[in-house]
Amino acid sequence: MNSKFYKIKTTHLIGAVLGSICIGVAAGLAVTGIVLLALKLSAIAIAWGYYVIIAVGVAAVAGGVSFALLRPTDKSVAKRVDEDYGLSERVQTALEFKDASGAVVTMQREDADARVQSLSLKAPSVKKLWQYPLIFVIALAIALTAILIPARVADSADDVWVRPPTPFEILAMQELVQNVEDSSLEQDLKQPILDDLNGILEGLEQNELVSDVMPTIHVAMADIDRRVKAIATYGNFAQKFESHLLDDLANALKGGDVYLEYALSSYDLVKSFESNLISLLSVAVEPYVLSMREVYNDLDVTAISPLMRELINKMQAALDEIDGNPSDELYGVLTSFKTNLEELRGQITDGSADETHFQHTLDLMFNSFTDQLIDAIKTQSYDLAMGKFVVTRIKIIFGIPLDADEKDPDAGNKDDVPGSGDDEDNKGGGMGGGETIYGSDDMIYDPETGQYVTYGELLNKYFAIAQEYLGTDELTQEQKDMVTHYFEILFSGIKEAEN
């Protein structure tokens, strides 16, 4: 083919490049606009840099694919020349037989070359180019529509936290810090919890919006929950012993859950929980240990030996499945009890056992095990209860929804709470004889949802409304002081004697 043919081919190549660029840019704009519109309608926000990455990535892929499809070849250009200039496939034929020899073939090629050389190049046909601007305009319209449409406001509780911290939230957190400092938590657990709580307080004091502190709050709650669960191993032990058919021992360990779910309402109840825990655990643990002991009643040492061997083997199998921490008091109590069983059975085996007083020896061993077991479970149970109280209290302070296994203590039915006494039967809500009353936990009707909720769930909204009036001259200073004191009571509670 002559130079005119390759000039035509170059023109087609430029057209393919420009068309591919147009398609790529249009695809990038369209896809980015669709993504932006979808996220706006879903009230989801992402950094603008991601939209740039999407646009560039889609444009590159679409442009590359388009050029691969539109890139002109000698054969495609020959076909276009024949069609555009009415050459009756002369150029295609000459191209197909360009390497052939013979007089006829040579004459055909020369004729085709002469005709192509004499062509006056036509301007690109509008009919064949209109689709490119149209695609670009449609894509641009999609992108502009997505940019101009306002984002939907999320129907989320997160909006509640897009506000400055209230003085009452800071006051309630300070009170919670004091609760932890006054608690009987083990020091290696107490200090990390205090660090988490003080981190929240620092965030509230340093940030303009509560929403900026929410990540710190959630991290702190997760950290506290993880720490107390790591310390409370009695549940894991109970599960392992139960799987090895040691039901009495498993049920004795489950005694650690006594009253646990109820120790969430106030620090007064947590303190009461601690002081009564030994007696509560005695009721929950002793019957099952006694059931283990009764297996050996009225049996001579010959009959006791195989029963003790079975218990020792099952305990060993269960303990082997547990990655016990030597510093875990409960793990030490259980392994010590197994060791005592082995030593006592060894006396039977070697004939040194005092058969006359053997039952009394068993009584002493099981009584000692009961006392040690209760003491070890008490520490874990209290730590777990205190940790749950702290996490639940944080959620109540900031209006974070409670999990299914958590209870807003003042929203429940008092008849569901076991035990007796004012602090347990009347858990705040301005209704009881407890040491501290939380008026913010009264049940009220929420007209927006049509449900009864604790007043505390609406406090942030109501306090924001009150703040608008507190900042004006519509109220006297005395009235402002009364309103301020009212919300102080709702957020932090008052002593019964003050009521």
Q: What is the pLDDT of residue 127?
A: 57
Range of the domain at 271: 165-407
Q: What is the DSSP string of 479-492?
A: HHHHHHHHHHHHHH
Has residue 438 got a pLDDT over 60?
no
Confidence of residue 475 (pLDDT cuts 50, 70, 90): confident
In a domain? residue 416: no
Cβ atoms within 10 Å, residue 46: 11
Confidence of residue 371 (pLDDT cuts 50, 70, 90): very high
Q: What is the pLDDT of residue 447?
A: 60
Confidence of residue 410 (pLDDT cuts 50, 70, 90): very low
Confidence of residue 481 (pLDDT cuts 50, 70, 90): confident
405 φ/ψ angles, rounded to the nearest 5 degrees: -90, 5
Q: Of 174, 155, 171, which is closest to residue 440 (Cα–Cα)?
A: 171
Whether residues 401 and 428 share a domain: the answer is no
CA 259 to chain centre: 27
Q: Domain boundary residue among 83, 117, 148?
A: 148
Has residue 234 got a pLDDT over 50?
yes
Between residues 299 and 430, which one has the greater pLDDT? 299
Do 469 and 475 form a contact (C-beta atoms < 8 A)?
yes
Between residues 285 and 326, which one has the greater pLDDT? 285
In a domain? residue 417: no
In a domain? residue 69: yes
- Name the residue type at position 330: L
Has residue 306 got a pLDDT over 70?
yes
Q: What is the DSSP string of 71-95?
A: ---HHHHHHHHHHHHT-TTHHHHHH
Token representation of residue 189 = 């657990």
Has residue 60 got a pLDDT over 50?
yes
Q: Count Cβ atoms within 10 A of the Cβ of residue 47 and give its class: 0-12 exposed, 13-18 middle, 19 or more buried.
A: exposed
Whether residues 120 and 7 share a domain: the answer is yes
Has residue 235 got a pLDDT over 80?
yes
Q: What is the pLDDT of residue 244?
A: 92
Q: What is the pLDDT of residue 243?
A: 93
Confidence of residue 414 (pLDDT cuts 50, 70, 90): very low
Has residue 156 got a pLDDT over 70?
no
In a domain? residue 17: yes
Whether residues 8 and 144 share a domain: the answer is yes
Q: What is the pLDDT of residue 443?
A: 58
Has residue 411 got a pLDDT over 50?
no
The total of structural domains in the chain comes to 3
Q: Which helix (H) or strand (E) holds 454?
A: strand 451-454
- The SS3 of residue 242 is helix
Q: Give me the residues paired with residue 99 across strands.
A: none
Whether residues 280 and 198 share a domain: the answer is yes
Whether residues 251 and 395 share a domain: the answer is yes
Q: Of 426, 433, 299, 402, which is closest to residue 359 (Cα–Cα)?
A: 299
Phi-psi region of 81 (alpha: psi -120 to 50; beta: other; left: phi over 0): alpha
**How far is it, in rounded angstroms, from Cα 72 to Cα 227?**
68
Token representation of residue 228 = 């107390």
Mean pLDDT value of segment 285-297: 92
Confidence of residue 238 (pLDDT cuts 50, 70, 90): very high
**How far is it, in rounded angstroms, from Cα 455 to Cα 440?**
5
Q: Model confidence over 313-341: pLDDT tens digits?
A: 999 999 998 876 778 899 999 999 999 99
Q: Domain boundary residue among 356, 374, 407?
A: 407
Q: Which helix (H) or strand (E) holds 495?
A: strand 494-495
- Name the residue type at position 60: A
**How far is it, in rounded angstroms, from Cα 129 to Cα 321?**
75
Question: Can you give 382-445 as a three-state secondary structure string?
Answer: HHHHHHHHHHHHHHHHHCCCCCCCCCCHHHCCHHHCCCCCHHHHCCCCCCCCCCEECHHHCEEE
Q: Give me the residues paired with residue 444 across strands.
A: 453
Has residue 493 got a pLDDT over 50?
yes
In a domain? residue 254: yes
Confidence of residue 462 (pLDDT cuts 50, 70, 90): confident
Mean pLDDT value of segment 237-242: 93
Whether residues 202 and 240 share a domain: the answer is yes
Q: Model confidence over 335-347: pLDDT tens digits?
A: 999 999 999 999 9
Whether residues 270 and 238 share a domain: the answer is yes
**How far is it, in rounded angstroms, from Cα 304 to Cα 427?**
50
Q: Rg of the chain's alpha carbons, rounded to an integer? A: 41
Whether residues 42 and 187 share a domain: the answer is no
> pTM for this structure?
0.52
Whether residues 45 and 122 share a domain: the answer is yes
In a domain? residue 182: yes
Mean of the per-residue pLDDT values of the chain = 79
Whether residues 348 and 297 share a domain: the answer is yes
Has residue 488 got a pLDDT over 70?
no
Whether residues 477 and 329 share a domain: the answer is no
Q: Domain boundary residue among 117, 148, 179?
A: 148
Has residue 93 got a pLDDT over 70?
yes
443 φ/ψ angles, rounded to the nearest 5 degrees: -85, 130
Region of poorest pLDDT, from 1-5, 125-129, 182-186, 244-248:
125-129
Q: Count Cβ atoms within 10 A of the Cβ of residue 89 and give its class: 0-12 exposed, 13-18 middle, 19 or more buried.
A: middle
Has residue 435 got a pLDDT over 70?
no
Q: Model confidence over 16-28: pLDDT tens digits?
A: 888 889 898 989 8
Has residue 301 got a pLDDT over 80?
yes
Whether residues 319 and 389 share a domain: the answer is yes
Confidence of residue 459 (pLDDT cuts 50, 70, 90): low
Confidence of residue 94 (pLDDT cuts 50, 70, 90): confident
In a domain? residue 338: yes
Q: Count Cβ atoms within 10 A of the Cβ of residue 126 and give its class: 0-12 exposed, 13-18 middle, 19 or more buried.
A: exposed
In a domain? residue 486: yes
